[in-house]
Amino acid sequence: MTLNVHLTSEYNSLVITYLKEQLKPDIRLTTGEILPPAGDIHILIAGHPDRDQIKANRDLHTLIVPWTGIPLETRELAGEFPHISVHNLHHNAAPVAEMAVALLLAAAKKVVPFDVALRQGDWSLRYLEPAPSQTLKDKTVLILGYGEIGRRIARICNSLDMRVWAIKRNLGPGTRDPFVQGIFTPDYLLKLLPSTNALVVALPLTPLTEGLIGKQELDLMPSKSIIVNIGRALIIDEVALYNALNNGRIGGAGLDVWYNYPPDEESRSSTHPSNYPFGDLENVVLSPHRAGLTDDINYLRMDHLSVLLNAASRGEKIPNKVDLHLGY
């Protein structure tokens, strides 16, 4: 039986050819924003599917969102079609984890202010006493969210001789990791924060995670602690984070996700990422939500897509099933 798959996102012909070469012969792949008129699609690959498209394909049984996380509107729409199984991709786990650790190191070593000063011929920061740079060895990093990305971050931090803790919502049987000294449920968060030197947020945004880190949580952390956010901005309260960084309550931050985004192409060169001037703070490393944007990211995406599609073709369980109630 032929498995009909449609991919709505536009990719160049080399990327599509790369995907097709990895698919089993009984998979028929079509692409484009407009679905084929026959209405016989079995698997739809779309981040923002259209309700009419779903209704028009009575044989549709699987929706794949081709990135990590599920947009709220897609999650709500999928809830109207309980017979359709929803899945996502973890293709960007490696580059996002690399960016998380890059931001952690940049914030700890004060890379940005030293770089800016030296470009002007100013060496004065080099002679400050005590030196502003921190050592991460033997410090404790707490990773919020222990999925594909969180596990990769843990391995890298472990190689830096950091003490690694992680928070995971569900601790099933055998939840152990040789790179992690402790895996805890969310109710331990307030107990762990006073001993947390670096907090890395790698969570999806859901009603349960929005605003998870606020003033109370930030006040519990040590004064020189560092925050890295590669999850979603709204997981950390915007005002509380800015104030904690501005008054030195928190030592530094590396942020790849933000509170404001350009609404259109014209505004890409004139949109501040927050309503507060994070860019004026020397203890913050700013990154424009680019952790997963690498030169090979679309090929990585196709590698992971092929795994899901080939599993479906063989009649096997498709990986990365999303729990719509939890949002991930």
Question: What average pLDDT does this structure show over 91-120?
Answer: 97
Residue 141 pLDDT > 80, yes or no?
yes
Percent of the chain at pLDDT above 70? Answer: 99
Distance CA 291, CA 270 (A): 21
Among 51-65, 151-165, 210-224, 240-254, the range scoring the smallest mean pLDDT is 51-65
What are the beta bridge partners of residue 144? 167, 201
Compute the mean pLDDT over every residue in the chain, rounded to the nearest whole number. Answer: 95
Domain ranges of the chain: 3-92+296-313, 93-286
Predicted local confidence at residue 326, as pLDDT: 82
Helix (H/G/I), strand (E/B), else coil: 164 = strand
Instruction: Please check whether residue 237 is in contact with residue 213, taking contact to mean a CB–CB distance below 8 angstroms.
Output: yes
Amino acid residing at 68 = T
Predicted TM-score (pTM) of the model is 0.93
pLDDT of residue 53: 86
Give me the pLDDT at residue 68, please. Answer: 87
Contacts of 290 (CB under 8 A, 6+ apart): 99, 256
Question: What would the pLDDT profile of 225-278 be if each residue is shown by its tens digit?
Answer: 999 999 999 999 999 999 999 999 999 999 999 999 999 999 999 999 999 999
Segment 186-193 mean pLDDT: 97
Q: In this model, does residue 16 exceed pLDDT 80?
A: yes
- The token duo for 317 is 């369980």
Q: Is 175 a residue whose pLDDT tops 80? A: no
Mean pLDDT of 56-84: 93
Distance in angstroms (rounded) separating the CA atoms of residues 9 and 115: 39
CA pair distance 242, 258, nearest whole angstrom: 12
Average pLDDT for residues 111-133, to the nearest whole number?
A: 96
Please say whether the beta carbons of 327 and 207 come within 8 A: yes
Asked if residue 84 has pLDDT above 70, the reply is yes
Residue 291: pLDDT band with limits 50, 70, 90 = very high
For residue 38, the model assigns a pLDDT of 73
pLDDT at res. 179: 93
- Looking at domain 3-92+296-313, which of 3.20.20.70, 3.40.640.10, 3.40.50.720, 1.10.275.10 is its CATH number? 3.40.50.720
Q: Looking at residue 170, what is its pLDDT? A: 83
pLDDT of residue 63: 97
Half-sphere exposure of 37 (CA within 13 A, CB side): 0
Q: What is the mean pLDDT of residues 98-111?
A: 98
Binning pLDDT at 50, 70 and 90, where does residue 115 land? very high
DSSP-assigned states of every residue in 66-105: SSSS--HHHHHHHTT-TTSEEEE--TTHHHHHHHHHHHHH
Q: Quick one: pLDDT at residue 10? A: 86
Cα–Cα distance for residue pair 113/285, rounded to 1 Å: 9
Tokens of 319: 């990986």
Integer-rounded Cα Rg, in Å, for the chain is 22
The helix/strand/coil state of 129 is coil
CA–CA distances in Å: residue 53 to residues 3, 46, 105, 130, 257:
18, 11, 45, 62, 31
If pLDDT is split at 50, 70 and 90, which confidence band does 328 have?
confident
Does residue 148 surpass a pLDDT of 70?
A: yes
Is the pLDDT at 15 greater than 90, yes or no? Answer: yes
Write the CB contacts of 259 (distance below 8 Å, at least 6 apart in sequence): 233, 234, 238, 273, 274, 275
pLDDT of residue 174: 59
Count helices and strands in the chain by DSSP H and E runs: 10, 12
3-92+296-313 and 93-286: identical CATH topology: yes
Q: Which residue has the higher pLDDT, 34 or 290?
A: 290
Average pLDDT over residues 275-295: 97
CATH code for the structural domain at 93-286 = 3.40.50.720
